[in-house]
Chains A and B, each alone.
Chain A
Amino acid sequence: MAELRAEGLTLAYDGTPIVHGLSLEVPPGRITALVGPNACGKSTLLRGLARLLRPRDGMVHLDGQAIQRLPTKQVAQRLGLLPQAPIAPEGITVADLVGRGRYPHQSWLRQWSREDEEAVERALRATRTEELRDRPVDELSGGQRQRVWIALALAQETGIMLLDEPTTYLDLAHQVEVLELLAELNHAQGRTIVIVLHDLNQACRYADHLVALRAGRIHAEGPPAEVVDAGLVREVFGLECRVIDDPVTGTPLCLPLAAGRRRRNDRVAATTPRGAE
């Protein structure tokens, strides 16, 4: 099974280091979620793992080989990435867009093989976008569009899929739909999935392995039930909260200790003289 590992990885943008000497072993066949506050380096780490950023120091290994030294097309046959909010070429149809995920399996002489066709069909079926195949991507809803992009990554047929906040800009129902789809793909096809998520509770629900990042370093990692508690949320996000068992899934559920709308009720209570009760 495909194996992805970072060793002493330091990643920088314009000379400013974002990720510092980070080591991570992605559990094969599992869903790993990267969480952390804004600008903690989770997207940068994902790009580093996908060889989109050349490490300043350290290395990423794919199946035991240094990823920077592997031919990019070979990497693309084993590791796929869906960046945040990708933009489709204007007017392109769903089937055409998904078909472009077959790039690493094609060549000048093999432009559209039977395998290409079958992989696209499987990807459309898995993401339930078959009905949309001839529709222009511009005309789809946000949730449909995200499913089509996931289909592109699926058609690439890689053992490992990296996704950068695939639920951004989606409403709650579509967020759940996308995450359920990923869980299903992981479950049915055994694909290794690494996903950057904003929502800690969603990460706890869907991830087997949770990696909490702070300031470019791993603060804690492990199964959500073992690592997520009030202390972790305070240290990583700087937020006071109570962590309870999610009544639906039993996974950790983080409830911020903020007043919210209660503030108004408190004020009413505070101005009511005690003796009046």
Chain B
Amino acid sequence: MTATAHRRHSRRVTLRARGRGRAPELSARLDLRVLAVLAGAAAGILAAFVVGVGHGDFPIPPAEVLATLVGQGTAEHEFIVLELRLPRVLVAILVGAAFALSGAIFQSLAQNPLVAPDIIGVNAGAALVAVSVIVLGFPLGLLAPGAFLGALGAAVLVYALSYRRGLSTYRLVLVGIAVNAAIGAGISYLLTRGEINDVQRATVWLIGSVYASDWGDVRLLGLALLALVPAAVALGRHLEALQLGDDVARAIGAPVERARLALVVVGVALAALAVAVAGPIGFVAFIAPHIARRLAGTSGAGALPTSIAIGALLVLAADIIAQRALAPTALPVGIVTTLLGAPYFLYLLQRANRLGRAV
């Protein structure tokens, strides 16, 4: 087998391998800037990981964190690291990755940077069920699966209402905004009817937090992402075709309807999972793909893995800030992401106005 790697343009490396005889040539093209962003984000996640696991009311030095992770720590450290902090850190990473990937998919599909699962009703569907469970006194065990079904239900509703001889992303977004508003009204109604303690609990859930995550959450998210991330990356080629508009996409031979449906399903599943575990952590799905595109300089398939990495780093870092900012009072992570996200949103709008086009 022969393999070659060469650079033709400044940013791209092409890898090619040819098998013996009639085996087909394999080829892939890597974007150096995408790789650089992924490496940087990975380093950031690692650093935040060490801080997240080591710091807290009971600080543990990095060396001992490491020892504990490989099974050489004291029983006390083991409990704090493995049972309390590690699941929380991992859930922050996984939830951030899921929200960000979902947002990246929807933004690319809609060719509109202001679109995210928060906006088209997916998170609201989850929230309606979650708030109902809390306020109407259903068993709390129903919260996560109920939220998941709520997100899917809202997505199905939006999909059914916007389907007309094919799915137009434009209609999907408009219908989504309407469904989002309607569900929002339902949530407000429930909050005005509930007992004050329940309402407070529901409000914390609505902000989104990774507090009290356990290994069950980690496993659930981990397994789901193990299926959904490769699916999304595999669909990246089709996503790039769809970005050219339906006519061009069809003309170059992309399975337009099927690819779009598959991407919407993956995007909804990612958001539904994340919101079921952590609540609708604000602005992550919106902001992470933006930062990723800006850093990686691409809106193509390369924006998917970079969004995942940036989203993971964003939620993890935000959660660390949320725990420390007003210590000893810990805040839900959603407050921090919203505080970071809202000004960024305004900045983008202002820039869009100046440039006279969508962001």
A residues sitting closer than 8 Å to B (CB atoms) are 47, 50-52, 72-77, 80-83, 86-92, 95-97, 100-101, 103-104, 106, 108-114, 116-117, 133-134, 152-153, 156
Contact = CB atoms under 8 A, between A and B. Distances in A.
B26 interface: yes
B27 interface: yes
B251 A50 contact: yes
B8, B27, B298: which has the most chain A beta carbons within 10 Å?
A: B27
B345 to A, nearest CB: 17
Contact of B244 (A75, A76, A100): A100
A72 B26 contact: no
A76 B252 contact: yes
Nearest to A111: B28
Contacts of A116: 27
Contacts of A112: 14, 27-29
Contacts, number: 101
A89 to B, nearest CB: 4
B20 interface: no
A97 B14 CA distance: 17
Contacts of B297: 91
27 contacts: A50-B250, A72-B250, A72-B255, A73-B253, A75-B253, A76-B253, A81-B247, A83-B245, A86-B247, A86-B248, A87-B245, A89-B111, A89-B300, A90-B358, A91-B297, A96-B298, A96-B300, A97-B244, A100-B244, A101-B252, A103-B252, A104-B253, A109-B26, A110-B25, A111-B27, A114-B27, A153-B251
A86 B250 CA distance: 13
Interface of B: 8-10, 14, 16, 24-29, 111, 234, 237, 240-241, 243-245, 247-248, 250-255, 293, 297-300, 357-358
Contacts of B245: 83, 86-87
Contacts of A47: 247
A81 B16 contact: no
Nearest to A71: B253
A89 B248 CA distance: 12
A152 B243 CA distance: 14
A52 B251 contact: yes
A269 B59 CA distance: 101
A156 B250 CA distance: 13
B244 A89 contact: yes
Given A89-B243, A100-B240, A112-B29, A81 B300 contact: no
A72 to B, nearest CB: 5
A91 B296 CA distance: 12
A72 B259 CA distance: 13
Contacts of B234: 108
B298 to A, nearest CB: 8
Contacts of B16: 113-114
A80 B25 CA distance: 25
Given A89-B111, A103-B241, A104-B253, A110 B247 contact: no
B299 A76 contact: no
B253 A110 contact: no
A138 B252 CA distance: 21
Nearest to A95: B9
A110 B240 contact: no
A92 B244 CA distance: 11
B299 A89 contact: yes
Contacts of B29: 111-112
B8 A110 contact: no
B248 A92 contact: no
